[in-house]
Amino acid sequence: MKRFLVFPLLGLIWMNFVTVSLPDADLQDLSGHRVKFSEAIQNDGNPVIVSFWATWCVPCIKELDAVAEVYPDWQDEMGVKLVAVSIDDEKTARRIKPLVNGRGWDYEVYHDYKGELKRKLNINAVPYLIVIHKGKIVFRKNSYTPGGEEELYKFLKTLK
pLDDT tens profile 126-143 = 999 999 999 999 999 999
Cβ 96 vs Cβ 88: under 8 Å: yes
The answer to whether residue 51 is domain-embedded is yes
Could you tell me if residue 11 is inside a domain?
Answer: no
Query: Is 80 part of a structural domain of the chain?
Result: yes
- Please report how many Cα atoms fall inside a 13 Å half-sphere around the Cα of residue 101, on the Cβ side: 8
In whole angstroms, what separates CA 126 from the centre of its chain? 11
CATH code at position 150: 3.40.30.10
Question: In this predicted structure, what is the pLDDT of residue 130?
Answer: 96
Can you point out the beta strands (E) in 58-107? 81-86
Q: What is the pLDDT of residues 19-40, one digit of tens each?
A: 346 899 999 999 999 999 999 9
| Whole-structure pTM value | 0.85
Which residues is 36 bridged to in the sheet? Answer: 26
Please check whether residue 132 lies inside any domain of the structure. yes
Domain that holds residue 151: 22-158
Mean per-residue pLDDT for 64-75?
A: 95
Q: How many domains does the chain have?
A: 1
φ, ψ at 112 (rounded to 5°): -85, 70
43-63 per-position pLDDT tens digit? 999 999 999 999 999 999 999
DSSP conformational letter for 95: G
| 28 inside domain | yes
Domain assignment present for 114: yes
Mean pLDDT of the chain: 89
- Is the model's pLDDT at 105 over the cut of 50? yes
The answer to whether residue 18 scores a pLDDT higher than 80 is no
Confidence band of 160 (pLDDT split at 50, 70, 90): confident
In-domain check, residue 1: no
Question: Is 57 within a domain?
Answer: yes
